[in-house]
Structure 1
Amino acid sequence: MRHLRILTYVDEVARAGSIRRAAERLNITASALNRRIQDLEAELGTPIFERLPRGVRLNAAGELMIRHIRSQLADVGRLRSQIEDLSGFRRGTVSIACSHALAHDFLPIEIASYRRAFPLVEFDVRVASHGEALRALGAYEVDLALVFRMSNTVGFQIIASAEQRLMAIMRDGHPLAGTGSIRLRDCAAYPLALPDRSYGGRELLDRAVSQSSFRLSPVIESNSFEFLRNYVRLEDAITFQIEIGAPASLRERDGLIARPVDARDIAPARFAMGQLHGRSLSVAAAKFAEQLAAKLELGPAASAAG
């Protein structure tokens, strides 16, 4: 499929924003790469890149071209996976953008389970915010996006979803480390270590507090759930995470307790796994999506248990 090489070249230049940097990644000379781009532009009858003092960027024609190119490259990857699957060797790369809630337990467990059955399959996982995950999906950079609080985003085709409660996480021995659901008003009396406002869970908290007579004033904010969970082990502080990111194993492994926030304060919201609408997944990605969908349909308890 040598005719696809120029498509790969254009894609790399678009991602790098520089012919020189793209040439280094492709292991060819910058002059050779520039000639190939110019030949393609001559064949199309229009430039697809704007030449800037420090690099290049796609113009309007280039934006149209790159969507076509990435669709073609994705289809080739799917074709290769299907051909390899006919030989009995399911292989390929499954690329995923996921929320931080899945990075600690759920997704590592599911990938390890899948690779025990199909050890030739590789995974490319990026932990991203809601917006970053959807952008990567739309740019054909990932096969699947797993995000919390799905809106009706154009182009996002939901494969599976699950209802998720918001959980209050604290150390074992915290005065509120009891059983059953917990009220936000009770949490307000303790130091709070909150995720920053780029996360769906924080949005739920802020919305609930805006309609209440009390306030949640964090002593710490962070974009790292790992940091927040480690911090609340050290004092009587509380952080929050959606259910799939707060498995029962937290107590035994990290000495942490997770209690659901009372539905009267914050109603459960939905977590979704999806693909780009109209894009066919490779065999490896489709099979892994089936595995995740089956686990999500079992409910939060089964998902958290792994």
Structure 2
Amino acid sequence: MDLLVPALRYFHEVARAGSVAGAARRLHVAPSAVSRQVASLERDFGVALFERHSRGMSLSDAGVQLLAHVRASERAAEAVVEDVRSGRGRHARTVTVAATEGFTHRLLPDAMATHRDQHPGTRFRLVVTGAEEATRLAREGEVDLAVTYALGPPRGVRVEQSVATGLHAVVAAGREPAGRSSVGLRDLVRHPLALADESTTQRQLFDLCCEAEGVEVEPALVSTSLQALLGMARRGAAVALLSGLTLAAPGDAGQEFAGLVAVPVVHPLLAQRSAQVQTMSGRVLPATARAFTALASARLAAGAAAWGISPPGSGAAPPPDPSAVAEDP
């Protein structure tokens, strides 16, 4: 059900398609009808909402502002419709979530299962993507919430929960530095390393730490694959560097990760990275999505508490249970 007035709906489609013709095809109307609606809006506002180019149209500064309000209004209208329908018991609510891979192995599936125990009709759609893209999807209202990492305060989203997170050296039991309570950066880089690729926030932060210390690293492996990183660690061929909050909770390691030990990496810059639950700024979520957002936020905070992850500037976290092992980069 579309509660937007036609002029705003047409404006939204032109912004999405990048042309009047493209919007008309999506709306199944004549291009002239789209042009009239956009022109009417521009007259009403007294500003140009689009910049016209030979290959299409792009939003002006005023258009960008209007689009943000349209998206927020659209999501608020959807929330009203969903709440009314769910109150009549005729429709199951789908909660859409964007997340980086590390949260998809344990935290989110556990939270989804718990939520469905309480609200059996709830459906979920989970988009696994990079940290910046997850934030963008939340910012633009394409998902209800994002569970992701950030280096600094994100713009255009409401941060529902934020906890500091560290990095851990994951290594085969009996291999250095498995016997330590923590490991410094200079000691760590003496070992062959298996690292996530440069697109991840954890790798970007690790590279910043190395630059600050004036050390160079030639990793034994760079990969987007968790299994590849863990495989190298399990064989004793490398030390895998993984994020604290994407590790299995202490004392809750799965069989597939047996034989690996997680050791906290100590460096003051590591406190710059946080794990967050994000939603669209100004958006009122439907009741079911609000409930799941609160649950995901609580699970994120509980995960940080379980690992004893320190707040920014406090130094190293207490060592985890040696049986705890990595879930994901």
Is TM > 0.5 for Structure 1 vs Structure 2? Answer: yes
Task: Determine the structure 2 residue equivalent to 1:296.
Answer: 300
Deviations 1:236-282 (A, max 9, x none): 11222212212156662144624132435765553222323332221
* 8 Å contact kept, 1:250–1:257: no
Give, in angstroms, the shift of residue 121 of structure 1: 2.7
Task: Determine the structure 2 residue equivalent to 1:35.
Answer: 32
Aligned pairs for 1:84-163 (under 5 A) are 84-87=85-88, 91-163=92-164
Task: Determine the structure 2 residue equivalent to 1:77.
Answer: 78
Aligned counterpart in structure 1 of residue 276 of structure 2, from 263, 269, 272: 272
Task: Determine the structure 1 residue equivalent to 2:229.
Answer: 228
CA distance in 2, matches of 1:2, 1:162: 37
**Secondary structure in structure 2 of the residue aligned to 1:281:** coil
CA distance in 1, matches of 2:253, 2:21: 47
Task: Determine the structure 1 residue equivalent to 2:4.
Answer: 4
* 8 Å contact kept, 1:190–1:238: yes
% same residue: 27
Task: Determine the structure 2 residue equivalent to 1:17.
Answer: 18
TM-score scaled by length of structure 1 = 0.79
Tell whether 2:279 aligns with 1:282.
no
Residues 13 and 231 (structure 1), Cα distance of their counterparts in 2 relative to 1, 3 Å cut: farther
CA distance in 2, matches of 1:282, 1:33: 34
Greater Cα shift, 178-187 or 138-147: 178-187
AA matched with 1:298: A
Give, in angstroms, the shift of residue 22 of structure 1: 5.2
Give, in angstroms, the shift of residue 163 of structure 1: 3.2
TM-score scaled by length of structure 2 = 0.75
Greater Cα shift, 90-99 or 14-23: 14-23
Q: Calculate the aligned-residue CA RMSD, in Å.
A: 3.5
Structure 2 segments unaligned to the other structure (5+ residues): 308-323
Greater Cα shift, 144-153 or 106-115: 144-153
CA distance in 1, matches of 2:130, 2:87: 37
After TM superposition, the runs of 4+ consecutive aligned structure 1 residues lying more than 6 A away are: 303-306
Tell whether 2:191 aligns with 1:194.
no
Greater Cα shift, 199-208 or 220-229: 220-229
Task: Determine the structure 1 residue equivalent to 2:262.
Answer: 259
The count of aligned residue pairs is: 302
* 8 Å contact kept, 1:14–1:57: yes
Structure 1 segments unaligned to the other structure (5+ residues): none
* 8 Å contact kept, 1:19–1:33: no
